[in-house]
Chains A and B, each alone.
Chain A
Amino acid sequence: MEKYSLRKADLNRWIDSMIDRCQVFVPSRIEEEIFFSPVDEAPEMDLLGGTAVLPYLPPKDIVFPQSEILFSYSGKGEETKVEVPEGPKRGLVILGIRSCDTQGIFWLDQFFQENFNDFYYSRRRNKVTLVTIACNQPAKNCFCICCQGGPFLGSESQNFDIQLISFQDGYLVECNSTQGKELIDMRPDIFFPPEAGMEEIRFHLEEESQKKFLPAPTSYMSTAIRRITSNGIPPELWTELGERCFDDGGCSFVCPCCSCFGVGYLANDGKGYHYRYWDSCGYAGFTREVSGHNPREEKGERFKRRFFHKLSYQYLKKDGRIGCVGCGRCITACPGEVTMPLVVERIRKAQEAKYFK
Chain B
Amino acid sequence: MDNNYLPRFVRIVGIQTETYDTKSFELEFVESSAKEGFRFRPGQFIEAAVLGVGEAPFGLASNPNHPLTFRITVRAVGSVTEALHQLKIGEWVGIRGPFGNGFPFDEVKGKNILFIGGGIGLPPLRSLIEPMLDARSEFQDIQILYGARTPADLVYKDRLLEWEKMKDLRFMMTVDVGDATWVGEVGVVTTLFPKAEIKEENTVVFVCGPPIMIQFVIQELIHLGFSPGNIISTLERYMKCGIGKCGHCAIGHKYICLDGPVFSYQEMMKLPEKVV
Interface residues of A (CB under 8 A from B): 70-71, 73, 76-77, 80, 82, 84, 111-112, 115-120, 122-123, 231, 259-263, 265, 267, 272, 274, 276, 279, 281, 286-291, 293, 295-296, 301, 304-305, 308-309, 312, 314-315, 318
Contact = CB atoms under 8 A, between A and B. Distances in A.
B199 interface: no
Contact of B273 (A260, A274, A301): A301
Most B-side CB within 10 Å, residue of A116, A274, A308: A116
Given A71-B5, A296-B273, 10 more contacts: A76-B91, A117-B2, A119-B2, A279-B246, A286-B238, A289-B237, A293-B211, A295-B275, A305-B250, A308-B272
B1 A122 contact: yes
Given A71-B6, A117-B1, A80 B51 contact: yes
A112 B248 CA distance: 15
Contacts of B7: 82
A272 B51 contact: yes
A288 B6 contact: no
Q: Which interface class (under 10, 10 to 19, 20 to 34, 35 or more) fits B? A: 35 or more
Contacts of A314: 252-253
Nearest to B54: A265
A304 B248 CA distance: 15
A260 B246 contact: yes
Contacts of A312: 252-253, 272
A77 B245 contact: no
Contact of B238 (A80, A288, A304, A318): A288
Given A84-B3, A312-B253, A318-B253, A116 B245 contact: yes
Nearest to A73: B51
A116 B4 contact: yes
B52 interface: yes
B52 A77 contact: no
Interface of B: 1-7, 9, 49, 51-55, 77-78, 90-92, 211, 236-238, 240-241, 243-248, 250, 252-253, 258, 272-273, 275
Given A263-B241, A265-B55, A295-B237, A231 B247 contact: no
B4 A272 contact: no
A120 B258 CA distance: 19
Contacts of A70: 5-6
A244 to B, nearest CB: 21
6 contacts: A76-B91, A115-B244, A122-B1, A276-B246, A295-B237, A295-B273
Contact of B247 (A80, A260, A289): A260
B273 A289 contact: no
A272 B244 CA distance: 24
Contacts of A304: 272
A116 B243 CA distance: 6
Nearest to B30: A78
Contacts of B6: 70-71, 82, 84
A287 B241 CA distance: 13
